[in-house]
Amino acid sequence: MSLSFSSLTIKQYLSKEHNFPVLSLITCCYFIGGLLSFAGLKELYKLNTFVIHQCQVKSIDLKFLDRNLYPRWNITVVHDNQIIDDFLIASTGLTSESEAWNVAQQYKINETYSCYHSRNQTFFIQWGWQWDKPSKLKACRSFFGGVPLLVTAAILHKLRRRYQTEFRITPSQQQTTTAMETPPPTYNEAVQQSSIQETRI
């Protein structure tokens, strides 16, 4: 009995029209799950399209963007007897200037390191130079971390719609339900009603 009551309470809670906690949970699951899944697919795309170059660090500075500091390395790329001057910027920003410089100085000026770049560019997935080799583990971790959140959001959304339909009662249904719930008269009440009707006649 208590289990049935708890199940009914949960259904009624999920079916509330303006239920901010449930709506917020569904929205967050969709949003975070979508971001993680996209990040995983993007990393998988990198893994299958990257090429290796040799990048020599010419100078180092910091780029201020969206209230964060991003280490930036001005580089000379050597590949197939071609020399290209470009820059490489860190993917993660830092709030502390000292921490940003510590990260930047991990790659020394005039030293040459392996760097990675996309073989081709698409209109929705673009990436420039980076020090770290694309990782299959990172791709799987992001993608399979996002999918359960998307599934959870979809299930909650579907259950919410289902329970809203289940608990939505029209006026005609209310009248029918009220009529069905009205108990039949007892024997004494029936005799009394019959006597009243005979007296009126």
pLDDT tens string 138-149: 889 999 999 999
Residue 9 phi, psi dihedral angles, 5° rounding: -65, -40
Task: Supply the CATH number for residue 71's domain.
Answer: 2.40.50
CA angle 106, 52, 35 (to 5 degrees): 75
Mean pLDDT value across residues 46-67: 88
Of 147, 129, 148, 155, the closest CA to residue 74 belongs to 129
What does the pLDDT look like over 104-143, one tens digit per residue? Answer: 999 999 999 999 887 765 555 667 788 988 888 888 999 9
Domain of residue 109, residue span? 49-133
Instruction: Kindly state whether residue 89 falls inside one of the protein's structural domains.
Output: yes
Residue type, 68: N
**How big, in percent rounded to 5, are the helix, strand and coil portions of the chain?**
55, 20, 25
Instruction: Kindly state whether residue 199 falls inside one of the protein's structural domains.
Output: no
Instruction: Kindly state whether residue 105 falls inside one of the protein's structural domains.
Output: yes
Instruction: Kindly state whether residue 13 falls inside one of the protein's structural domains.
Output: no
Cα–Cα distances in angstroms (integers) from residue 170 to residues 114, 116, 160, 166, 186, in the given order: 69, 63, 19, 11, 31
SS3 (DSSP) at 174: helix
Instruction: Kindly state whether residue 69 falls inside one of the protein's structural domains.
Output: yes
Calculate what percentage of the chain has a pLDDT beyond 70: 76
Tell me the sheet residues that pair with 107. Answer: none
Question: Distance between the two ends of the chain, CA-based, in angstroms?
Answer: 51
Query: What is the count of structural domains for the chain?
Result: 1
Rg of the chain (C-alpha set): 33
Instruction: Kindly state whether residue 35 falls inside one of the protein's structural domains.
Output: no
CA 169 to chain centre: 34
Nearby residues of 73 by Cβ (< 8 Å), 6 or more positions away: 55, 57, 59, 60, 87, 88, 89, 104, 107
Instruction: Kindly state whether residue 98 falls inside one of the protein's structural domains.
Output: yes
Q: Residue 69's pLDDT is what? A: 94
Q: Residue 186's pLDDT is what? A: 66
Q: Residue 185's pLDDT is what? A: 63
Instruction: Kindly state whether residue 175 falls inside one of the protein's structural domains.
Output: no
Tokens of 5: 């009551």
What is the model's pTM? 0.56
Contact 29, 149 (CB under 8 A): yes
Structure letter (DSSP) for residue 81: T
Structure letter (DSSP) for residue 136: H
Strands 112-118 and 50-65: antiparallel
